[in-house]
């Protein structure tokens, strides 16, 4: 049986001053430990949350990337929890949906993916729709399993299994590399529908840079596909 003490919430934040306080306060309503990793924000993100009681804030001295922020949060959460619930700081996720995701967790280590519904809405940026389709294909090519939403940041990671996957990427590519390597190690991946809200009328903060991130994504996927094709599974599982 799983207990609440087995879970902790990890929220990576980088310059999300508009939404971070609301996201943290709603997350606290779940009654779980909350770890916020400020990945070198240069706006007022830290000031917005520093007075909120009952949360743990870890600050990077400079921006290291979303993957690095997640790993920092995982290491801290693993001291008291077996599972890390992650959600983005831009307010697109409803923290209450985590309760349904937790119900999908079994005693066997598995990775739960919050599959966003309503991604065809007019408020959803085209970059998000395109990015999901692009990523879904290449994760399938890299890992061998088709998933509906490989770009979602709303997930439940099994600890310490995810810390032993030796994921190399430290920026956005972390979230796709971890899926492929979980597939290699036969860690079950379960998709659970969740809502999404892109807040019409609110300026959305995006750190996506088309050319730079295309190069990074291509490098990550090329490496993963090369390993899957040319390196025997018995050796690859050690990566």
Provide CB contacts within 8 A for 93, sequence distance 6+: 23, 87, 114, 153, 154, 194, 195, 196, 197
Residues 121-179 pLDDT 10s: 555 565 566 667 888 999 999 999 999 999 999 999 999 899 999 999 999 899 999 99
pLDDT at 130: 66
Residues 145-161 pLDDT 10s: 999 999 999 999 999 89
pLDDT at 221: 83
Domain ranges of the chain: 4-236
What global pTM score does this model have?
0.86
Q: In this structure, what are the phi and psi dihedrals at residue 88, rounded to the nearest 5 degrees?
A: -80, 160
DSSP-derived secondary structure for 181-228: HHHHTT--EEEEEE-----TTSPPP----HHHHHHHHHHHHHHHHHHH
Strands 111-116, 155-158: pairing is antiparallel
pLDDT at 1: 44
pLDDT at 41: 98
pLDDT at 191: 96
Rounded distance between C-alpha atoms, residue 160 and residue 157, angstroms: 9
31 close to 95: Cβ distance less than 8 angstroms = no
- CATH code reported for the domain at 4-236: 3.90.550.10
pLDDT at 55: 98
pLDDT at 182: 96
Q: Give the chain's residues under pLDDT 50.
A: 1
pLDDT at 230: 74
pLDDT at 36: 98
Q: How far is CA 157 from CA 83, 109, 113, 192, 223, in A?
A: 6, 9, 9, 13, 23
Eight-class DSSP state of 5: G
3-state secondary structure of 113: strand
pLDDT at 74: 98
pLDDT at 133: 83
């Amino acid at each position: 049986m799983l207990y609440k003490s087995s879970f902790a919430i990890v929220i990576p934040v980088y310059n999300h001053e508009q939404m971070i306080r609301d996201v943290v306060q709603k997350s606290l309503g779940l009654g779980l430990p909350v770890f916020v990793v400020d990945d070198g924000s240069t706006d007022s993100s830290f000031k917005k949350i520093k007075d909120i009681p009952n949360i743990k804030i870890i600050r990077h001295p400079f921006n290291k990337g979303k993957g690095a922020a997640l790993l920092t949060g995982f290491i801290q959460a693993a001291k008291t929890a077996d599972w890390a619930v992650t959600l983005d700081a831009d307010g697109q996720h409803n923290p209450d949906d985590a309760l349904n995701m937790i119900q999908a967790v079994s005693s066997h280590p598995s990775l739960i993916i919050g599959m966003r519904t309503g991604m065809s809405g007019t408020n959803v940026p085209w970059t998000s729709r395109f990015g999901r389709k692009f990523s879904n294909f290449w994760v399938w090519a890299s890992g061998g399993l088709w998933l509906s939403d490989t770009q979602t940041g709303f997930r439940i990671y099994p600890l310490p299994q995810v810390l032993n996957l030796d994921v190399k990427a430290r920026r956005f590519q972390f979230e796709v590399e971890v899926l492929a390597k979980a597939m290699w190690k036969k860690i079950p991946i379960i998709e659970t529908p969740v809502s999404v809200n892109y807040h019409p009328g609110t300026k959305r903060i995006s750190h996506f840079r088309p050319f730079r991130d295309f190069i990074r994504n291509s490098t990550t996927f090329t490496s993963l596909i090369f390993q899957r094709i040319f390196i025997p599974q018995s050796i690859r599982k050690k990566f």
